[in-house]
Structure 1
């Protein structure tokens, strides 16, 4: 029992003697909140390893070295966390910009499609149907010819005339955008 009291008293003396100095030292590098944690963790380590039983100058060196190393570890961890957070924030911004561009493209394409379809509605009914089957449903001239009971040449001719009409009524850039959707 007596030995445990001696150890406990020695530990308590070292704790009271060095905590204020170690806190000031750690606070030069990290916030006071983290400095307290670092210093208290250091004292837990020296209790487990019975370092406080060494000569005082060695105890002092071990305490300051341990606090210094813990501050370095903390700063490295914080730096890594900030780097990860910065990368995530940057990626979120890039994703948001990409989404905005895609949404803008979608709205532009939708407006363009509506405008083109309004011009297609000006065509005769049979040409409208051939155009929709070809460019909206993606059917080939042969399939359209079979479906509408027309010759392939007639379907191709009607599509050609429709594109000529659209080229005249729309700017050429619109028609190319529409064809390559």
Structure 2
């Protein structure tokens, strides 16, 4: 929207430069501008337009939040047996799943408190890993899973319905990847 306003302003400015003079004298057709001034004007217009070009919103929607919750929540839920065994290495290997879950499920400004709580839960899990405390790891993991409503997705039977429709769906190669075929 900003781009169209700036573009229309530039269009009006360039059109007025070529408008006929209002006096009865014949105007000179020579441009009274050297190259340095012309490139300065172009660079100035580019600086005005440039900030509006790169204004992406991060594609935050209910679908991207659901996708992050499914993708990274599944990885976190799969750590349940490793946590119960006290396998610190397996949990530490999935550190990125925790980080990506926190940033993907709580991307909006209104979710700031929930995101801070999730980050605090992640920090508690990794503090237990650093101290090699199995009981603290179990408690922190259970608290994190409960607070963020993380569940292992139930397998979907092809008899019940279809789980995905293309190879680009986030449920491909998971328990939810069922395709109904007659």
Q: Normalising by the residue count of structure 1, what TM-score does the alignment of the two structures yield?
A: 0.27
Q: Which has the larger radius of gyration?
A: 1
More helix by share: 1
Q: Which has the higher contact order (CA 8 A, sep 6+)?
A: 2
